């Protein structure tokens, strides 16, 4: 028998919080509205053009999540996240060389988008493998909270750098900073030992023991098996429809606050939304561990639908603040609910690639929310039409949550025996 391989619990938490730190740097995506406002006001880009780097970054992010997920399952999280850090710095630095739509779209949209795919794919699967199944929601929420929380410091920092040094220099300074931080933290990431390792977290509470046992006994699905289940497509559609609303507001918030509220400090609302975004990830992870993933989704989708239908009426600093907080909470919830649900439904063996495929819905959402918002504003001077479209999509997602259940065990499959 092989000797026990049980690192201390501190190693598990080091992986978890290193992942949070990496996401704190990659979350520059959620401060794009600060860059976009400067590109419109200072460089006279159209509002639609100002969303091209952001939208391309989201699409490439989602595509590279699939590539990175496959690589992650084979090579481990350290090298995948390191590549993400190198790409993040390189893309921001390239964007600093020009004010043209093409160069900034390639630098931020293509290269930084790829960086996010590689950097974001690695931490969450690595962290959840160190803990018991009934901790998936909580650990996922902690790791991805960094991505949502990033704008708390990145939005004011970007605003300061743009006002002090200009847009190009802001890209350069942030590029050097993010490259350094991500590459250093990536060296702390690792999967737990494969033999004789007991995940941390202790036994589940008595009320949740049966549910935790059912999740643990559920067989692992390969990517090809997963995409043959209806649950995959239901999760994909719900993720796409719900995320499009959050991405609409995140991509345009600084300009929305200027048009609807007449205020020019929208970067502070971006920071507030970031706090709510991070909080939503942690709260939803904790709540869904207790009341179930799809029950939590129904609450989140309904809340955000109401918020979107009301957003056109937010015309004061207080109501814009309320709308930003609700958007952040609802949107942030998605980024802990969907990885946790994917791991619950389809297992952890192929977690990286399986979640990468589900996450492609987020990239599709980036083609809906931000672009519709930009076109609506360019054509009508406001965002009202895009709010209504987003609200309707959220209501559809809420209806889909009623029919989304965990897949039943495959025929001729014997669940793995758990050690006593």
287 in any annotated domain: yes
414 in any annotated domain: no
Cβ partners under 8 Å of residue 272, min gap 6 = 321, 324, 325, 328
Of the candidates 147, 21, 128, 139, which has an alpha carbon nearest to the alpha carbon of residue 72?
A: 128
Q: Domain total for the chain?
A: 1
Phi, psi of 378, rounded to the nearest 5 degrees = -65, -35
How far is residue 153's CA from residue 140's CA, in Å, rounded to a whole number? 22
pTM > 0.85: yes or no: no
How far is residue 185's CA from residue 117's CA, in Å, rounded to a whole number? 16
Domain residues for the domain of 51 are 14-192+215-401
Of the candidates 201, 167, 222, which has an alpha carbon nearest to the alpha carbon of residue 289?
A: 201
Q: 10 Å Cβ neighbour count for 72?
A: 27
Max distance between CA atoms of the chain, in angstroms, equals 71
6 in any annotated domain: no
How far is residue 248's CA from residue 121's CA, in Å, rounded to a whole number? 23
206 in any annotated domain: no
Contacts 24+ apart (CB under 8 A), 406-411: 406/218, 406/231, 406/344, 406/345, 407/221, 407/229, 407/231, 407/345, 407/346, 409/218, 409/219, 410/219, 410/225
The pLDDT assigned to 370 comes to 81
416 in any annotated domain: no
349 in any annotated domain: yes
40 in any annotated domain: yes
Q: 10 Å Cβ neighbour count for 348?
A: 17
pLDDT > 90 in the chain, percent: 42
372 in any annotated domain: yes
420 residues of the chain, pLDDT tens digit each: 445 567 878 899 999 999 999 999 998 887 887 888 888 888 888 877 888 898 899 889 888 988 998 898 888 999 999 999 999 999 999 999 988 899 999 999 999 999 999 998 899 888 988 888 778 777 887 888 888 788 788 888 998 999 999 888 999 999 999 999 999 999 999 998 877 788 887 776 665 555 555 555 567 899 999 999 999 999 999 999 999 999 899 878 878 888 888 887 777 887 788 889 888 888 888 888 888 889 999 999 999 999 999 998 999 989 999 999 999 999 989 988 998 899 889 987 888 789 889 989 988 898 888 888 888 888 888 888 999 999 999 999 999 999 999 887 654 444 443 332
CATH of the domain at 338: 1.20.1250.20
């Amino acid at each position: 028998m092989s000797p026990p391989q049980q690192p201390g619990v501190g190693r598990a938490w080091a992986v978890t919080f290193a992942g949070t730190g990496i996401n704190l740097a990659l979350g520059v995506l959620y401060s794009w509205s600060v860059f976009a406002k400067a590109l419109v006001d200072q460089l006279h880009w159209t509002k639609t053009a100002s969303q091209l780097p952001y939208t391309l970054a989201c699409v490439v992010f989602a595509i590279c999540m699939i590539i990175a997920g496959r690589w992650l399952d084979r090579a481990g999280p350290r090298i995948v996240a390191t590549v993400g850090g190198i790409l993040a710095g390189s893309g921001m630095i390239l964007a600093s060389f020009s004010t043209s739509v093409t160069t900034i779209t390639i630098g931020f949209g293509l290269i930084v988008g790829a960086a996010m795919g590689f950097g974001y794919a690695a931490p969450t699967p690595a962290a959840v493998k160190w803990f018991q199944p009934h901790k998936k929601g909580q650990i996922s929420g902690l790791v991805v909270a960094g991505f949502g929380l990033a704008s708390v410091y990145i939005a004011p920092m970007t605003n300061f750098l743009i006002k002090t040094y200009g847009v190009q220099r802001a890209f350069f300074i942030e590029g050097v900073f993010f490259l350094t931080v991500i590459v250093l933290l990536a060296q702390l990431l690792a999967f737990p030992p494969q033999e004789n390792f007991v995940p941390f977290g202790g036994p589940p509470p008595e009320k949740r023991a049966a549910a935790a046992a059912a999740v643990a006994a559920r067989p692992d699905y390969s990517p090809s098996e997963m995409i043959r289940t209806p649950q995959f497509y239901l999760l994909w559609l719900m993720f796409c429809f719900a995320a499009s609303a959050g991405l609409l507001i995140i991509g345009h918030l600084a300009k929305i606050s200027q048009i609807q509220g007449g205020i020019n400090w929208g970067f502070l609302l971006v920071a507030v939304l970031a706090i709510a975004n991070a909080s939503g990830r942690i709260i939803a992870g904790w709540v869904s561990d207790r009341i179930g993933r799809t029950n939590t989704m129904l609450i989140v989708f309904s809340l955000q639908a109401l918020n979107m239908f009301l957003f056109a009426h937010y015309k004061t600093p207080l109501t814009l603040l309320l709308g930003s907080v609700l958007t952040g909470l609802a949107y942030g919830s998605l980024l802990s609910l969907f990885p946790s649900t994917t791991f619950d439904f389809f297992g952890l063996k192929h977690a990286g690639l399986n979640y990468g495929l589900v996450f492609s819905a987020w990239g599709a959402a980036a083609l809906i929310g931000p672009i519709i918002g930009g076109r609506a504003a360019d054509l009508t001077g406001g965002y009202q039409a895009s709010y209504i479209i987003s609200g309707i999509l959220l209501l559809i997602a809420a209806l889909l949550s009623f029919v989304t259940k965990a897949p039943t065990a495959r025929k001729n499959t014997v669940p793995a025996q758990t050690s006593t």
